[in-house]
Amino acid sequence: MLTFLAGLGKALSSTGISVTTIQSILYNVARAYQVKAEILVFTTFIIIKVGDEESSPLTTVNQIYGLSQLNTISELYELIYKVEKAEITPREGIKCLKKINAHPHRFGKIGMLIGYVFFAVGLGLLLQPNSQQLIVSGILGFLVGILLIFTQDKPRLALIKPVIGSFLVSIIFFWGVKNGFLTGSILLIIPALAYFLPGATLTTGMFELASGDLISGASRVIYGITILFLLLFGVLNGFKIIGLPQEDLLVVAAANTIGWWAPYIGIMLFGIGMFLFLSMRNRDFPWVIIVLYVAFLGQSLGNYFIGGFFGAFFGSLLMTISGALIGRSPMRTPSFVSTLSAFWLLVPGSLGFITLANLIGPNYSSGIADVIQVIMSVVAISLGLLIGAVIAEPLKLQKIKLKKFKK
C-alpha cells in the first residue's frame, strides 16, 4: 500500500496538479482501503507514512514544461476512480501505474509538431485574425515545436527552453520588422510562445496559497515569475541584437480582416492542436472543445459587460464548473484534462494586449502598470477557479446522496 500511494502521488505530482488535490486523492484512496495514513505533499517531494512504515522522501519531477500526455493523465484518473472504491488490490494498482507510465505518445513526433503549429495558428486567430498573423504564427510555431520536441527528454534544459524559444522567435520577428516584412505588433510572437507562458503555474500557485498550502503555493508562484523573466530575457536580447528602434513597435492588435467567425475557428484549430500535441484520447476531445468554447464565451461576456479582469474571472469560473460537471459525467473525462487547455485561451486573452514594448523601452512606469495587470489577471483566474470549485462541490455531494438513496 505504501509503494502504491507513493507511486500514485509521484505520478500525479509530475502532471502539475495542485498539491491540495493530490493530498485529497491520496487520503481518499487510503480511506477506501481502511488504512491509516499520514501524507505530506509538496511541489518537489512527497512523504507518506502508512501504519508504522514510512517512505523515504520521494523526489518528484515538475513537468510543467515537459510534454505531459493527456491520455496518460486520463488513464491515471481512471485508476484513481477504481482505487477510491477499492475495486483492485494495491499490488494490481502498482502494475497499472507501470503500464500507464510506459505509454508512448499517440501521434509521435510528427503529430506533435503538426499539433503545435495548429496550437499557434489557433491562438493567432484569437488574438488578431489576419493573414499576417496566421503566416507568422504558423512559421514561428513550427520552429518552437521543433525546439520542444528536441528537448522533451532533456529535463536539464527545462529552464532554458523559454529563453531559447523567446530568443529565436524575437530574433526572427524583430528582423522581419526592421526589414519591412512585418508590422511591429508585438502580438505576433505571443501564439508561438504561449506554451511557455506560466499562466497555469501561477494560477495553481495562487489556488494553493488560498487553500492554505503556503510553501507549495509560494514556490510555484516564484517559479512562474522566474519563467516570465526568462521569457523577457530572451525577447530583450533578440531586440538588442537586431537593434530595432522602440518607436517601430506597435502594441495594438491589427484589425480583423478575416471575419467575425475567425476566433471560433481559432478555438477549434487550437483544440485540434492540443489533441495532437499533448496526445489526447479520442473520447476526451469533444468535451475539451466544449470547455474551450465555454471559457471563451465567459471571457467574452465578462470583457463586454464589465472589463478584462472580470472576463478572466468569469471565463475561469465557467471553465471550472463545466470541467467539474464533465468529470462526473458517464464519459469520465477528468476535469484537469478538460480545463488544462482552456488556460492557454484565458491567459493570452487576458494578457495579450499588455504593452510588452513598455518593458523593452525606457517607459518603466507604464511597464510597472503592465506588471500589475498581469498579477491582477492571474488573481482573477485563480478566484474563478476557487469559486467554481466551491460551486461544484455541492453538486458532487448531491450526486453521492442520490446514489445512496437509489441503493
Residue 146, exposed/middle/buried by CB under 10 A (0-12, 13-18, 19+)?
middle
C-alpha radius of gyration, the chain, whole number = 22
Looking at every residue in the chain, the average pLDDT score rounds to: 79
317 Cβ contact list (under 8 Å, min separation 6): 298, 384, 385, 387, 388, 391
pLDDT the model gives residue 250? 56
Q: Which residue has the cell 528536441?
A: 150
Q: What is the distance of C-alpha 102 from the center of its chain?
A: 23
The domains of the chain are located at 2-101, 108-399
Residues 174 and 282: their CA atoms lie apart, in Å, by 39
User: pTM score, two decimals?
Assistant: 0.85
Residues 205 and 144: their CA atoms lie apart, in Å, by 26
**Total count of residues recorded for the chain:** 407
Long-range Cβ pairs for the range 173-180 (8 Å, 24+): 173/136, 173/140, 173/238, 174/238, 174/239, 174/242, 174/244, 175/242, 176/136, 177/244, 177/248, 177/249, 178/242, 178/243, 178/244, 178/248
pLDDT (tens digit per residue) in 202-241:
778 877 887 778 888 888 888 887 887 788 888 888 888 8
Q: Which of 146, 5, 181, 153 is nearest to 79 (CA)?
A: 5
CA distances 156 to 98, 100, 107, 161, 281, Å, are 24, 24, 25, 10, 29
Query: How many CB atoms are closer than 10 A to CB 222?
Result: 13
pLDDT the model gives residue 45? 80
pLDDT the model gives residue 381? 75
pLDDT one digit per residue (tens) for the chain, 407 residues: 888 988 898 888 888 788 888 888 999 999 999 888 888 888 878 888 887 766 666 665 544 444 578 999 999 999 998 998 888 998 999 999 999 888 888 999 999 999 999 999 998 888 777 888 888 999 999 999 999 988 877 767 777 888 899 899 989 988 888 888 887 677 788 888 888 877 777 778 877 887 778 888 888 888 887 887 788 888 888 888 887 766 656 555 556 677 778 889 999 999 999 999 999 999 999 999 999 999 999 888 888 788 767 788 888 889 888 888 888 776 678 888 888 888 777 765 445 334 444 555 545 455 555 566 666 776 777 777 778 777 776 655 444 443 443 44
pLDDT the model gives residue 63? 46
Residues 21 and 324: their CA atoms lie apart, in Å, by 13
Q: With the CA atoms of 289, 291, 296 and 302 taken in that order, what torsion angle do they form, in degrees rounded to the nearest 10? A: 170
CB 195 within 8 A of CB 144: yes
Backbone torsions φ then ψ of 47, nearest 5 degrees:
-125, 130
